[in-house]
Amino acid sequence: MKSDREIELLRVAGNIVYRTHQYLKPFIKEGITTKELDRLAEDFIRKQNATPSFKGYDGFPGSICTSINNQVVHGIPGKTKLKNGDIISIDIGACFKGYHGDSAWTYAVGEISDDKKYLMEHTEKALFEGLKQIKPGNRIGDIGHAIENYAKQHHLGVVEELVGHGVGTSVHEDPEVPNYGLPHTGPKLRKGMVIAVEPMLNLGSKEIYVLDDEWTIETADGSPSAHFEHTVVVTEDGYQILTGE
């Protein structure tokens, strides 16, 4: 449980992450490299007197994660140029006065296929299906169950190896928040808990593998993947998004 003072700092950090996403949006166009997006994000975050949470995290070389099409998460920013028809998942973390915010969003580059639109729409909706379960007394398993259920109804693969998490003075804290699970199981949600919920859904099977760079995770069958994440605080009767406006 976080104190009111801590929640205020987490709110500032979360809002910086939100504003970094808004700042990047107009740049997400054909021709820009993921390294250029990384530089823009890092400069913006530092101007807010914050630092990029992922830079150097376990040795991660980028400030943000940029995962294109069949890449699920942890793509390293580099020379790859975005192309019309790509989707790109951008995961941003920012640390303000020792407290973190964490939010990922998948964006379309130009005109994308109906399949990719379907994947993006339903992965975002799956996130909100999970969030709807958040209130004191419910359990972590209720969140995962709602996400898994929604994904299965829409024939999307649920990545299981990567999970949501608590957020605080460390960007990844307990408890783990899986995108699958059974109702009424797992740790109880309590007022003042801060967690990141982050479904990663694939248009094909749920299987994934790690590239030789030891970071980038791709779908095993080459199908596109989407990732939507918010950091939220558990309130008296529900939740509030910290990585929003």
Which parts of this chain interact with Mg ion (CB under 5 A)?
A: 91, 102, 104, 196, 229
In the bound complex, what is the minimum distance in angstroms from residue 37's beta carbon to Mg ion?
15
Quote the CA–CA distance of 200 and 89 in Å, as a whole number: 10
CB 204 within 8 A of CB 221: yes
Decide whether 85 or 102 has the Cβ nearer to Mg ion.
102
Decide whether 28 or 104 has the Cβ nearer to Mg ion.
104
CA distances from 76 to 79, 147, 242 (A): 10, 27, 25
Decide whether 16 or 104 has the Cβ nearer to Mg ion.
104
Decide whether 93 or 141 has the Cβ nearer to Mg ion.
93
Q: What are phi and psi of 88, to 5 degrees?
A: -135, 125
In the bound complex, what is the minimum distance in angstroms from residue 165's beta carbon to Mg ion?
6
Quote the CA–CA distance of 38 and 136 in Å, as a whole number: 37
Encode 83-104: b = buried (16+ Cβ within 10 Å), e = exposed.
eeebbbbbbbbbbbeebbbbbb
In the bound complex, what is the minimum distance in angstroms from residue 41's beta carbon to Mg ion?
13
Quote the CA–CA distance of 178 and 23 in Å, as a whole number: 29
Quote the CA–CA distance of 96 and 242 in Å, as a whole number: 13
Decide whether 64 or 119 has the Cβ nearer to Mg ion.
64
Decide whether 160 or 221 has the Cβ nearer to Mg ion.
160
CB 158 within 8 A of CB 206: yes
Decide whether 175 or 183 has the Cβ nearer to Mg ion.
175
CA distances from 56 to 53, 64, 67, 190 (A): 8, 11, 18, 32
Quote the CA–CA distance of 78 and 65 in Å, as a whole number: 10
The pair of three-digit structure tokens given for residue 139, joined into one six-digit string: 């359990």
